[in-house]
Structure 1
């Protein structure tokens, strides 16, 4: 088994953080993040502009607090040897690769849905400046594609992964941190119940949401550990939020040959993504010698 984190030469020993401390600090951080969404007393639902603006303020405060956890609970030797910004994924080495390659890799996963979207008239709107003006003035769009990816990836990846990686090997850390991310989304069950949804339905949706957010969390944490860049999971998250889950109904509305071709692209995209994932995230491509040593 590989050591938890390998950035010091063999003759120097890094004092690893006990797993209880790293995991506990991440749990507290996840509670603070979710709790910040409910500190405001409001009669509006989650999509109301007032609610969204208040939650923007809340998660912004959490983003200020989160790095303090990394600083306080990190090994002193680690903080002395590496710039703090580098620990949380902000560095120039390999930046353009981290912007481009993981984004294209994620787009490959959505090859089928992208083809289906290209058959719709709405696809041409991406090339219309009015579409982007409208989107940038739509607070729900800003929440889903900007603020949610930014705050969630910063807190759950950039600030939690360095803590977990000091206590566990990289591949183990990739499977631990997404659990915090998935559980953090279970609060939507309470929101649905408050809107009058039946308990069984709310639980079913909640379990489904926990499953796919956790699966995405595995991918996002893997990107962070392999590239050592915050921007890689950030852009992947934004793209996934934009694409959403594949619209099967839209797929079956295509004519027979387009439908068959789209299904082939679904399979090719998934298989290609699986095959290219370890290749496209090779740490040497990103000059990443910090977090991946397996």
Structure 2
């Protein structure tokens, strides 16, 4: 059964409010319990531009028990956000018997055969330069310095790995991409707003890391500087990355390509071109060429027409879309 909304069934103010609620709930849940909250000494010593040693009674974000508790709570919050989208769709839908199906489609829990593997190749293409540097250092799979135990098992099969490369990216993409964009689309938001403005909440959701860095660096003037600069960079980077993932979600109608892109970026980290050139001075030009090819190829591959199909979020001439 298909539905066509001739006018946005949800107001933009409601979409804004729910977006803020999702972001506040996701971040706020990390501080609800003593098991998820971080704790620092009231007078931390050391720092001086470097992370200080952890105190015996302190709770830091990389402590296994903290990670476990936080993964549980953000997983529950993610389910609640999805249920909130279901309630909205059930309320405004003509075919209430199909509300679960509509919710699944709106949240992008689908992957059509038409999409193939193309959307999953965009971020690896962007990282062509860093991957070429890994190749030069024999760090790619099946090369000499690659270790399945160290680079795969020890990386992913750990609490930090589960947070950084599995549940963290999955829950963030579902909440800040699928849930947020589905509501903005129902509110008739333009594509430009959904791509460039909706990720702002995702970027500012990382603001709380500044307090942790300030405490870890000893709460000095240097700690303030490090925390501010790092937090500003993180907000800018995550907002820009969020815009890409928002576009990828809209043009494919699936949450899986953004999740994969998020995981891939977390695994690769921030590109270090200058460091790689210093490490391989005889390959400076080839590293630069690899970076340029990756960035230019990525930009060309982002064109909607290259995807070869349209999703419910990317229908020509339609703002609200249809079921």
What band does the TM-score fall into relative to the shorter chain? 0.7 to 0.9
* Counterpart Cα distance in 2 of 1:238 and 1:279: 23
**Counterpart in the other structure of 2:108:** 89
**Counterpart in the other structure of 2:193:** 172
- For the residue of structure 1 that corresponds to 2:62, the secondary structure is coil
Q: Does the alignment pair 1:215 with 2:237?
A: no
* Counterpart Cα distance in 2 of 1:182 and 1:79: 36
Q: Does the alignment pair 1:150 with 2:157?
A: no
What are structure 1's unaligned runs of at least 5 residues?
A: 1-6
Shift of 1:105: 1.1
CA separation of 1:254/1:163 partners in 2, compared to 1, >3 Å: closer, same or farther?
A: same
What are structure 2's unaligned runs of at least 5 residues?
A: 39-57, 317-323
CA separation of 1:115/1:262 partners in 2, compared to 1, >3 Å: closer, same or farther?
A: same
User: For 1:119, which of 136, 139, 161 is the aligned residue?
Assistant: 136
Shift of 1:276: 1.1
In terms of fraction of residues, the more helix-rich structure is: 1
* Counterpart Cα distance in 2 of 1:139 and 1:146: 10
CA separation of 1:269/1:77 partners in 2, compared to 1, >3 Å: closer, same or farther?
A: same
Shift of 1:88: 0.4
User: For 2:76, which of 32, 55, 61 is the aligned residue?
Assistant: 61
CA contact (8 A) 2:126 2:294 kept: yes
Offset from partner CA, 1:185-229 (integer Å, 9 cap, x none): 111011112222521221111111000000000000001111000
CA contact (8 A) 1:22 1:73 kept: no
Larger radius of gyration: 2
Equivalent residues in 2 for 1:1-294, closer than 5 Å:
8-9=3-4, 13-41=6-34, 42=38, 43-74=58-89, 76-77=92-93, 80=96, 83-94=102-113, 97=116, 100-124=117-141, 128-131=147-150, 132-167=152-187, 168-195=189-216, 196-197=218-219, 198-247=223-272, 248-256=274-282, 258-279=283-304, 282=307, 284=309, 288=311, 290-294=312-316
* Counterpart Cα distance in 2 of 1:291 and 1:96: 14
**Counterpart in the other structure of 2:52:** none
* Counterpart Cα distance in 2 of 1:200 and 1:176: 27
- For the residue of structure 2 that corresponds to 1:121, the secondary structure is coil
CA separation of 1:188/1:64 partners in 2, compared to 1, >3 Å: closer, same or farther?
A: same
Query: TM-score, normalising length from structure 1?
Result: 0.87
CA contact (8 A) 2:251 2:304 kept: no
CA contact (8 A) 2:111 2:254 kept: no
- For the residue of structure 2 that corresponds to 1:123, the secondary structure is coil
Shift of 1:130: 2.5
